[in-house]
Amino acid sequence: MWQMARKALRGAAGLALLVSAPLNVTSAADDVPVSQELRQRSTEILTILNGGGDPATTFAASFRKAVPDAQMQALIASLQRQLGTAMGVESLTPLGEHEATVRLIFEKGTARAWITLSPQPPGQVTGLRVTGIMPTDIADLASLDDVAAAFATAPGKTGFLVQDLDENNPAVALRGERTFAIGSTFKLVILAELVREIDDGLREWTDTVTLDRTELPAGAFRALPPGTQVPLRRLAEEMIRVSDNSATDLLLAELGRTRIEAMQARIGFTHAARNIPFLSTMEAFKLKGVEGGALGRRYLAQDTDGRRAMLAGEVADVPGRAVGDLFADGTPVMIERLEWFAAPADLARAMRWFQGRKDSANGQEAL
């Protein structure tokens, strides 16, 4: 999910192909070489971000199955709207022989990308994440007051909060207690419940989940065969590290929906009722995408008990392939009513909950 709040401060931009910027190579460690494959694939990704190249050459089949071409085009269009033309690769920092971070220069800002390659020839891309998106006009904001002023005049519904977790009050906030759709940030609640259960001696990080034939959304665990055992720690790590949706849904099912719902209040979510029932990612995709959203509209018309019944019955029974081409045009679907919701202050309280466990082994593991 590319939940890019910076859209509120950006307009549309054009697109052209230009890959002539110089490439600077840095290293995370003196003994980490920069492979020719990393250089080549980084340049190819830049070309693809400009609408050129051949995805079948650059991306491994496993990646293209998880991220179909239509979804990739929607993500590229979103990036283009924010940053305009991709101008070049400024730097490449290897994290290993087959993994690197890349700093990309755009017409109207910068972004970072993390890429990983298959160790098998021809070394195609098996993982790509674009993050650290920074439009120039946002980078030029000189103070938190400037940020608040920019948010206040932006179109749509906006809010944010900046807080030192060692302080009781925020440094600056705009509509800090107003709820917004939070996208993948909901995964913090699942992580918190896992930490609580481990703290209470109910589980260990090394406990495993056995995969069955339950349909999963895109992610590293969808293609694994039934019977595969995956440690809780790995699921938690992938859920947070790359926002893996398959890991998220496995953890939600293992920990239990109602316990995760109750965890919201423990970590400081004062608007938790909006997230009951607490949706999995697959359920959210189905509700938004089946029958053009008709399934979701029927769901929203129910009370809480009716919604739970729908999730256990009709929603569970419909196959994932029935989900339409969600987000293809970059437009959120039912984002005001069908999502995970929290206020900026809720999220700050949640981060303080994690920080409060920094001196325990489990808290350190979560952090």
* pLDDT of res. 53: 92
- Give dist(CA 353, CA 264) in Å, integer: 11
User: Which has the closest alpha carbon to 190: 286, 127, 132, 269?
Assistant: 269
Please count the helices (runs of H) and the strands (runs of E) in the chain: 16, 11
- Give dist(CA 281, CA 259) in Å, integer: 17
- Give dist(CA 227, CA 168) in Å, integer: 47
- Mean pLDDT of the chain, nearest integer: 87
Whole-model pTM over 0.75: no
Where is average pLDDT lowest: 132-136, 200-204, 349-353?
A: 132-136
Tell whether the model's pLDDT for residue 22 goes beyond 70.
no
Region 335-354: mean pLDDT is 95
Those residues with Cβ within 8 angstroms of residue 158's Cβ, 6 or more apart along the chain or in another chain: 5, 8, 151, 152, 174, 175
Diameter over CA atoms, the chain: 59
Could you count the other beta carbons within 10 Å of the beta carbon of residue 155?
Answer: 8
Helix axes 245-255, 232-241, angle to 10 degrees: 130
Q: At residue 118, what is the residue type? A: S
184 class by beta-carbon count within 10 Å (0-12 exposed, 13-18 middle, 19+ buried) = middle
- Give dist(CA 315, CA 336) in Å, integer: 20
- Give dist(CA 53, CA 51) in Å, integer: 7
- Give dist(CA 344, CA 175) in Å, integer: 8
Region 240-255: mean pLDDT is 96
The pairing of strands 24-25 and 86-96 is: parallel
Q: List pLDDT tens digits, range 259-298.
A: 999 999 999 999 999 999 999 999 999 999 999 899 999 9
In DSSP terms, 99 is beta-bridged to 96, 116
Share of the chain above pLDDT 90, in %: 66
- Give dist(CA 159, CA 222) in Å, integer: 35
Q: List pLDDT tens digits, range 32-74.
A: 667 889 999 999 999 999 989 999 999 999 999 888 888 888 8
